[in-house]
């Protein structure tokens, strides 16, 4: 009898599957390496998220594709996959398990949705598997949900449309993202290397923030006044603000409000004529019903957690994922639905009953729900039409002890889950008008509002009770026919304020509602369910924009940086609204949904994407050529190469200064190593052959440095550095010189900085005599220039914190030690404090494990 190979997305899920499926398939045993579980019926293993990625673009000779416009657009006839280096060992293990002769089918147990489908089918494509597959589609990680999914597995044929949509989304993002990024980088890298990332989702998100930043910068505040009066009645004093009874909303005056007075003299007149007057008081009371909010999807959970606790979107997702995977107290968090399936009422009653028995502080509310038999058909809760891959985030009915932020998030979900089964909260709103009628016939009205909770309904779950009003909403009572006396009156001056900057909560809301910015009704409808990005990806989009320095956090606010605003302005100049508007995402979501419903073929979609990609590159290329043709007033200088002076001066374009003599090739770019050279700098360089040492240069990897520019014997601009001004130092492809270091036992050498390493080209080590190299990032820990200098000069770094073990994924601290004899960099661990009661055998085992870990880390550090 053949075995099923079950592939989960994460190790923790594989562990749960082995535990639960062991009840029906027989107990599973774990292999010695910990990579899989096995019994007579199945093998359970897992990926660690994505194990494969699209292969980086290459030339026909197998070399990395140069960053030059003539190589664009990149359009692979067939997309090739390559292993992600950090998880290559796991990939090899899965491939070897799939080849086993006793494995007759492969089960996809990755997360239910497009991304899980992509992770699994990338493995199928890479491994060229021919064995049949089935889909284990799990809505939550409870034992019952896993067993139900196992007994109702979906066929390979059923999953083909979703698989096509997943692969198409991945390949189209790669095409548009890679080509846009490369073309914009080439355009922006005048004399430097300025990586300019762009993409289908991140660029429209940046555009939202950039537009808000421009609105703030362009905003001109206006002064206005408000008149506030204190009115005394028998029961006390209340306040009211003057309002214009004839005010009407004007779209051309967005800051206009009934209480705002734009002419100071008018406010003064109101104050003067209302002082010490009495007013007739009228009140309007009405009941207002507030229904409970919908259940959480990921985005609404992230928004509220940001508002309530200041959690970033990324942090909220981490906490929700922990509640789902580790503690099993919440259902799958990466959902875009706020509803439950119609057939889930029985399960919900079970969960509410569990809360009533074990939910402690929430138990009384669960009991009320059961007593009222409140779990019944309700389209605001149960609606299968509004459930796609996953339903809303709710508790599973399992209870474990939680603490800290995890507990806060869990209690948010629990409270919302119970609140939806409670009736609406009823408030009594009071609108009190104090009207002063003057002998001249002029009337001045002052408005006072209040709100009192009459029936708490669902708000009881959040601790609210009837008859309670906040201090600002509480009103002293007024008897029928009683007149109010003005006891005090004042003018309050203020300025109109610019629109508020986005924070994590409001940006998530804007991303979710980005379909409102799309004018095409069908595209807007396609985006209404997803918006910009998906609930699972929005956190990483925001973090990516921060990493790329397009936006920055300022407290809780998210601010578009100068770099971010300039990119959006550049795209607008080029005419690339495709990349700045959410319409592209709307179009894609609409087409991908068609694909999922078998209404569109994958081939047609991908052809459309290739046409779009070619158009983007063409527009950027045309803009670049147009910029190169712009000519500025010439510079009256003698060419240092041919020694001639043209009557109209040296040719001066946006990019360069060059000689007009057709036989002379002298040219100097205006941006050198990321520094824009002023006209004065260029004149000094051309007339004197050399500039002084200046700041503002940036290496191709973003590091600032100081240097001077000089003309070499071929009249080419090269850099020279303060350490060795007599030498010509040229920025080479293999790195930028950042220091001169005295290497222990090896003397003085130049230290170069490259994208991935610190290099000493003049120090050759190993059997192959390769230049000495120290990785800039070792096991997730960045190695600074200061530390690499210390390692090379003294043979040992300071104690460095924050390395991440490849085997256990846990952080650890260590020294880095350099051997001048072998050129190797190894770990040296600080002494451990051993407990006296520790068993000797256990100590020995741990030391062996530590030794093995040391060897593994040493190997990784050399890579």
Whether a cis peptide bond, with omega within 30° of 0, leads into 73 is yes
Nearest of 567, 537, 562 to residue 552 by alpha carbon = 562
DSSP symbols for 423-479? PPEEEEEEEEEEEEE-TTS-EEEEEEEEEEEEE-GGGGGGT--TT---TTT------
The whole-angstrom separation of Cα 151 and Cα 149 is 5
As given in the structure block, the two tokens for residue 196 are 């300019």
C-alpha span between 676 and 1 (Å, rounded) = 71
Q: What values do phi and psi take at 525, rounded to 5?
A: -65, -40
Is 332 considered catalytic here?
Answer: yes
Q: Are strands 757-765 and 736-743 parallel, antiparallel or unpaired?
A: unpaired
Closest by CA position to 584, among listed 285, 304, 207 = 207
**C-alpha span between 834 and 522 (Å, rounded):** 66
Q: Give the count of alpha carbons within 13 A of 524, CB side only.
A: 8
Cβ(639)–Cβ(665) below 8 Å: no
| C-alpha to C-alpha distance for 447 and 339, rounded to whole angstroms | 41
Residue pair 59/21 in contact (Cβ under 8 Å)? The answer is no
Query: In this structure, are strands 3-8 and 42-46 parallel, antiparallel, or unpaired?
Result: parallel
77: alpha, beta or left? (left if phi > 0; alpha if psi -120 to 50): alpha
Cα–Cα distance measured from residue 526 to residue 592, given in angstroms and rounded to the nearest whole number: 9
Tokens of 174: 């790669």
HSE value, Cβ hemisphere, 13 Å, CA-based, for 483: 10
Residue 556: φ, ψ to 5°: -90, -5
d(Cα 237, Cα 234) in Å, to the nearest integer?
Answer: 8
CA atoms within 13 A on the CB side of 455: 12
DSSP state of 672: E
Give the contacts of 425 (CB within 8 A, at least 6 positions apart).
289, 290, 292, 453, 455, 456, 457, 458, 459, 464
Burial of 743 (0-12, 13-18, 19+ CB in 10 A): buried
Q: Which of 36, 224, 332, 410 is catalytic?
A: 332
Contact 745, 755 (CB under 8 A): no
Nearest-angstrom CA–CA distance, 179 and 861:
33
Q: What tokens does 266 get?
A: 């008018």
Q: Distance (Å, rounded) from C-alpha 725 to C-alpha 307?
A: 55
Tokens matching residue 181? 């990024």
Q: What is the CA angle 342-348-349, rounded to 5?
A: 120
> Could you tell me how many residues make up the chain?
863
Please report how the helices 504-512 and 298-309 are oriented relative to each other, as an axis angle in degrees rounded to 10. Answer: 160
Residues 176, 199 contacting (CB under 8 angstroms): yes
SS3 assignment, position 663 = coil
The residues near 75 (Cβ < 8 Å, ≥ 6 apart) are 175, 610, 613, 614
Distances (CA, A) of 778 to 220, 702, 763, 861, 863: 50, 19, 21, 5, 8
What are the φ and ψ backbone dihedral angles of 111, each rounded to 5 degrees?
A: -50, 140
* Catalytic residue set: 332
């Amino acid at each position: 009898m053949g075995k099923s190979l079950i592939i989960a997305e994460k190790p923790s899920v594989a562990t749960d599957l082995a535990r639960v499926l062991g009840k029906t398939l027989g107990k599973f045993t774990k292999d010695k390496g910990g990579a899989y579980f096995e019994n007579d019926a199945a093998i359970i293993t897992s990926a660690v998220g994505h194990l494969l990625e699209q292969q980086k673009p290459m030339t026909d000779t197998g070399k990395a594709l140069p960053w030059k416009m003539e190589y664009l657009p990149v359009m692979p006839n067939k997309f090739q996959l390559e292993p992600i280096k950090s998880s290559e060992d796991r990939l090899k293990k899965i491939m070897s398990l799939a080849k086993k002769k006793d494995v007759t089918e492969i089960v996809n147990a990755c997360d239910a949705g497009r991304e899980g489908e992509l992770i699994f089918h990338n493995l199928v494509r890479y491994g060229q598997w021919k064995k049949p597959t089935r889909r284990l589609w799990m809505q939550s990680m409870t034992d019952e949900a896993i067993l139900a999914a196992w007994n109702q597995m979906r066929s390979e044929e059923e999953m083909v449309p979703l698989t096509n949509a997943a692969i198409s989304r991945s390949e189209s993002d790669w095409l548009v993202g890679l080509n846009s990024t490369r073309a914009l980088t080439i355009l922006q890298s005048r004399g430097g290397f300025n990586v300019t990332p762009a993409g289908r989702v991140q660029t429209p998100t940046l555009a939202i923030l950039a537009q808000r930043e421009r609105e703030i910068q362009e905003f001109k505040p206006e002064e206005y006044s408000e008149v506030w009066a204190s009115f005394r009645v028998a029961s006390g004093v209340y306040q009211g603000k003057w309002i214009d009874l004839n005010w009407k909303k004007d779209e051309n005056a967005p800051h206009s409000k009934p209480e705002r007075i734009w002419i100071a003299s008018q406010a003064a007149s109101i104050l003067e004529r209302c002082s010490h007057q009495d007013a007739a008081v009228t009140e309007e009371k009405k009941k207002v019903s507030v229904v409970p909010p919908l259940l959480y999807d990921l985005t609404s959970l992230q928004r509220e957690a940001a508002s309530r606790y200041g959690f970033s979107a990324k942090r909220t997702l981490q906490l929700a994922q922990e509640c789902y995977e580790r503690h099993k107290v919440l259902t799958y968090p990466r959902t875009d639905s706020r509803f439950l399936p119609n057939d889930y009422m029985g399960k919900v009653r079970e969960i509410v009953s569990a809360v009533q028995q074990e939910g402690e502080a929430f138990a009384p509310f669960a009991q009320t729900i059961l007593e009222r038999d409140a779990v019944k058909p309700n389209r605001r809760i149960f609606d299968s039409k509004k459930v796609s891959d996953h339903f809303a985030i709710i508790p599973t009915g399992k209870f474990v002890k939680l603490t800290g932020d995890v507990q806060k998030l869990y209690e948010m979900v629990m409270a919302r889950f119970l609140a939806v089964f409670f009736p609406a909260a009823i408030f009594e709103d009071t609108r009190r008008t104090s009207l002063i009628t003057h002998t001249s016939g002029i009337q001045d009205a002052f408005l006072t509002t209040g709100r009192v909770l009459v029936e708490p309904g669902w708000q009881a779950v959040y601790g609210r009770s009837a008859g309670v009003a906040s201090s600002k909403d509480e009103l002293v009572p007024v008897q029928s026919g009683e007149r109010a006396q003005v006891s005090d009156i004042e003018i309050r001056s203020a300025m109109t304020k610019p629109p508020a900057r986005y924070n994590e909560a409001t940006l998530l809301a804007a991303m979710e509602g980005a379909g409102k910015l799309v004018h095409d009704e069908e595209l807007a409808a396609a985006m209404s369910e997803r918006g910009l990005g998906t609930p699972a990806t929005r956190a990483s989009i925001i973090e990516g924009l921060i990493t790329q320095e397009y936006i920055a956090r300022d407290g809780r606010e998210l601010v578009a940086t100068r770099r971010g605003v300039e990119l959006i302005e550049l795209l607008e100049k080029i005419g690339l609204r495709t990349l700045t508007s959410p319409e592209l995402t709307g179009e894609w979501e609409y087409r991908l949904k068609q694909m999922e419903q078998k209404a569109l073929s994958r081939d047609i979609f991908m052809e459309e994407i290739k046409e779009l990609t070619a158009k983007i590159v063409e527009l950027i290329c045309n803009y670049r050529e147009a910029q190169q043709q712009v000519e500025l007033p010439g510079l009256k200088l003698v060419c240092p190469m041919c020694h001639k002076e043209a009557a109209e001066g040296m040719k001066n374009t946006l990019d360069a200064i060059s000689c007009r003599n057709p036989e002379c090739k002298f040219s100097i770019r205006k941006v050198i190593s990321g520094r824009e050279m002023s006209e004065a700098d260029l004149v000094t360089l051309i007339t004197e052959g050399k500039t002084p040492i200046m700041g503002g240069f940036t290496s191709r990897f973003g590091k600032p440095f100081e240097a001077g520019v000089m003309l070499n014997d071929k009249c080419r601009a090269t850099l020279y550095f303060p350490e060795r001004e007599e030498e010509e130092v040229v920025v080479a492809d293999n790195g930028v010189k950042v220091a001169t270091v005295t290497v222990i036992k090896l003397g003085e050498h130049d230290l170069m900085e490259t994208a991935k390493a610190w290099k000493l080209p003049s120090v050759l080590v190993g059997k192959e005599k390769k230049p000495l190299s120290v990785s800039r990032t070792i096991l997730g820990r960045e190695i600074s220039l200061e530390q690499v200098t210390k390692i090379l000069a003294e043979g040992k770094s300071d104690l460095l914190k924050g390395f991440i073990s490849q085997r256990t994924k846990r952080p650890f601290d260590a020294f880095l030690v350099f051997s001048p004899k072998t050129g190797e960099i190894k770990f040296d661990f600080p002494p451990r404090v051993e407990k006296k009661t520790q068993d000797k055998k256990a100590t020995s085992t741990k030391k062996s494990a530590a030794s093995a870990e040391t060897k593994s880390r040493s190997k990784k550090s050399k890579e």
